[in-house]
Each structure stands twice: as C-alpha cells, then as structure tokens.
Amino acid sequence: MEKELKTIREIALKEISQAKSLDELNNLYLKYFGRRKGKLTIILRGIKDLSEKERPKIGKLANEIKQELEQELEKKKREFQEAKIDIIAKKEWIDVTQPGVKPPHGHLHPITQVRREVEKVFSSMGFEIAEGPEVEKEYYNFDALNIPKEHSARELMDTFWLKDGNLLRTHTSPVQVRVMEKRKPPLRIIAPGRCFRYEAIDASHEATFNQVEGLMIGEGVSLANLKAVLISFVKRFFGEETKTRLRPGYFPFVEPGFELDITCTVCGGKGCSVCKGTGWVEIIPCGMVHPNVLKNVKYDPKKVSGFAFGMGLDRVAMMRYGIDDIRLFYGGDLRFLNQF
Ligand SMILES: [Zn+2]
C-alpha cells in the first residue's frame, strides 16, 4: 500500500507539471480526487479496512500526498490563469487617447437632394409645398383633369389598377385638384412625389419615378407669368447660361399647352447622345390650366386663370449629373449612390 501511494504521487506530480491547459488540470483533479473513481479517493476510502498497525502510518502518508497534490494543482492553475490574463492584456489593449473610428454615415439620395433644391427655388418664389396620396381615386387622376373615360390620353399612361377600383397615381397632377377643391385662389403650390406607371423598364423608363407638379392660380395670371417663373427656375437650377424655348404641346388638362425645352446641360447645346444631337432637351411640359379643370373644382374660369407644369425629378437629376440610365437611381447600389 505504501509503495502504491508513492507511485501514484510520482506519476501525479509528473502529469501536473506537464499539463498544458486548465482543462487538462481539471481532468487530472478528477482522475485523483474524483468522488467515485479518483485514485486517491479510493485509497483513502480503503484505509478504514486496514489493520490497526498499518492504519495510522498509511493514513498519514495518504493525507500528506493528498495535500501536496492539491497544492501543486492549485499552483499550476494560478500559472495558467495569470498567463491567460497576460494574453488578454496584450490582445485587448486599448489606447483610450487615440481618436475613435468614424462610423460610416450616409447621405440623402440624389433624387431627394434634387427635390429639395427644386423646393427651395420655388419656395423663394412664393410657392407652397403640397402633398397628396400615392393611391389615388380614378376621379382625381383622370376625370377631374379633363381626361374622361375612353380618352386616348388615358392610354398614354399605363396604369396600375387596384382591385378596389383605385389606382397608383400616374402623375402628381391629382394633387393640384385636391388643393383647389379645398382652397380659394390665389394660390401657388408645387407638389413633389412618387408616381407609378406600368411601363417596360429601360434606360429612360422606370415603373416608379418622381415628379414635381406646379400650379399658380389667380386673377389675371397669364402665359407671361408662366414663362417668367419657369425661366427663373431653369436659370437658377441649371445655371444662368441655360437657354429655354417654348414649343406647342398637347396635355388634356391645359389649353394652350407647351413643352419647355432647355439647352442640353451635358454638351452645352452642341449636340450629344443625351440630346440626340439636337442640343435641346424637353424638360417641363406646361400650359394654361384648362377651363374644364377650373370648373371641376368650382372656380370661375372667367374670373381666375392659371398655369400648371410638371417635371420629372429623375430626368432633372439625370441632366444635372450627366447620368444616362434612370435604373441606377433605384438599384440601391452604393458604388453609384456614394458619388453624390
Ligand atoms: Zn447634348
């Protein structure tokens, strides 16, 4: 028995000194001191069965070995714990005096930037900013704007119809009707917002796009006012050197109707692929509000008159930044968006 104890002691000391981790130490503890199968535990448990002569001697020795091994285990355990703290201290060291890492921060989408700029220019000319619903009634999107059923102009706007008979607005023009219904002239508003058309998507068409609609109504508002307002806008937004021209155009809610063209900002009017070699780009359809539209909102066309215009914000942004594909705005690609 005495010999067995001494062998256990030697082997255990060796194993403890060679242990490489806290886990290994824990296993060694179980191997010798485990409650059921620990090698020393078994011996200590057997001491009561020894002869009276042997009992004190072996008991003493066994206890000495037990204490010694426990101390060694404890010592080794501390070494590992200290080493672990050293590693953490080295790896996770922080210099609190260093400047922090700047969190990445986003910015407004280019369409939003352009919209806000447009709003700023028109606000400075006394226009209010109005809003309307994106899900619209057929009446506001078409009928009230002098586009009756079976009218060919409805076919020009491929519409997303909803099951309940409503639709996704195909332009921001319904907002002018909604404002006129609630207010009396004089009024000056612009209505920016999203519009939807069931279009085949290509470089210049998207199913979702952004427009801004403008309206000015009052006594004696004339074509001269329309020209003055739009030319001021173009010069302030695209630059003083930008030239404009007004051509006749057809839109059911205005009479007479026009297209306002500007000199191409990409080539400066010399001719390029964006302006198809003409040096001009159509940018603002406009005109004098049709008397039928005024009657629909119970205004008297003999007393008040006004003009309206619309503008594709995507198109304006494309002209401003020389972008040739509208789909880039809605693709969510940060490599594109980060440039603005
Ligand atoms: Zn051009």
In the numeric block, the tokens 């109005």 are attached to 130
Residue 298 — very low, low, confident or very high, per pLDDT cuts 50/70/90? very high
Residue 137 has pLDDT above 90, yes or no: yes
Which candidate, 267, 258, 261, places its Cα nearest to that of 282?
261
Measure the CA–CA gap between 65 and 71, rounded to whole angstroms: 10
Distance 200 CA to ligand 1 centre (A): 25
Distance 230 CA to ligand 1 centre (A): 21
Give the pLDDT of residue 201: 83
Characterize the bridge pairing of strands 305-312 and 280-289. Answer: antiparallel
Supply angle C-alpha 132, 138, 141, rounded to 5. 50
Distance 263 CA to ligand 1 centre (A): 8
Residue 103 lies in a domain: no
Kindly report each contact of residues 263-269 with a partner whose C-beta sits within 8 Å and lies 24 or more positions away, as own/partner.
264/319, 265/238, 265/239, 265/319, 265/320, 265/322, 266/319, 266/322, 268/241, 269/243
Residue 79 lies in a domain: yes
Measure the CA–CA gap between 293 and 146, rounded to whole angstroms: 6
Which candidate, 137, 173, 133, places its Cα nearest to that of 153?
173
Instruction: Answer yes or no: do 55 and 181 share one domain.
Output: no
What pLDDT, in 10s, does the model give residues 256-287?
999 999 998 888 888 887 788 899 989 999 99
Measure the CA–CA gap between 309 and 282, rounded to whole angstroms: 13
% residues pLDDT > 70 (the chain):
99
Instruction: Answer yes or no: do 171 and 222 share one domain.
Output: yes
Instruction: Answer yes or no: do 50 and 114 share one domain.
Output: no
Residue 104 lies in a domain: no
- pTM of the model as a whole: 0.68
Residue 223 lies in a domain: yes
What pLDDT, in 10s, does the model give residues 155-184?
767 889 999 989 999 999 999 999 999 999
Residue 1 has pLDDT above 80, yes or no: no
Which candidate, 174, 180, 75, places its Cα nearest to that of 132?
174
Distance 319 CA to ligand 1 centre (A): 9
**Is residue 288 left, alpha or beta, with left meaning phi > 0 and alpha meaning psi from -120 to 50?**
beta
Instruction: Answer yes or no: do 172 and 305 share one domain.
Output: yes
Distance 68 CA to ligand 1 centre (A): 93
Measure the CA–CA gap between 204 and 200, rounded to whole angstroms: 10
Distance 278 CA to ligand 1 centre (A): 7
Give the pLDDT of residue 146: 87
What strands lie across the sheet with 208-218, from one edge to the other? 128-129, 187-196, 208-218, 305-312, 280-289, 254-263, 244-248
Instruction: Answer yes or no: do 86 and 154 share one domain.
Output: no
Range of the domain at 282: 110-337
Residue 199 lies in a domain: yes
Give the pLDDT of residue 153: 65
Q: Which of 91, 125, 142 is the last residue of a domain?
A: 91
Number of domains in the chain: 2
Distance 224 CA to ligand 1 centre (A): 28
Give the pLDDT of residue 305: 96
Question: What one-character DSSP code corresponds to residue 161?
Answer: B
Residue 230 — very low, low, confident or very high, per pLDDT cuts 50/70/90? very high
Distance 32 CA to ligand 1 centre (A): 89
Instruction: Answer yes or no: do 176 and 302 share one domain.
Output: yes
State which amino acid sits at residue 18.
Answer: Q
Instruction: Answer yes or no: do 129 and 73 share one domain.
Output: no
Measure the CA–CA gap between 40 and 138, rounded to whole angstroms: 92
Residue 151 has pLDDT above 80, yes or no: no
Measure the CA–CA gap between 123 and 190, rounded to whole angstroms: 9
Residue 200 — very low, low, confident or very high, per pLDDT cuts 50/70/90? confident
Give the pLDDT of residue 232: 96
Give the pLDDT of residue 156: 65
The per-residue pLDDT of the chain, averaged, comes to 89
What pLDDT, in 10s, does the model give residues 64-123?
888 998 999 899 989 888 888 888 888 888 888 888 888 888 899 999 999 999 999 999
Q: Which residue has the higher pLDDT, 330 or 223?
A: 223
Q: Which range in 30-34, 215-219, 262-266 is most confidently predicted, on average pLDDT? A: 215-219
Residue 194 has pLDDT above 90, yes or no: yes
Residue 98 lies in a domain: no
Residue 287 lies in a domain: yes
Q: Which of 26, 57, 91 is the last residue of a domain?
A: 91
Lowest mean pLDDT among 112-121, 146-155, 241-250: 146-155
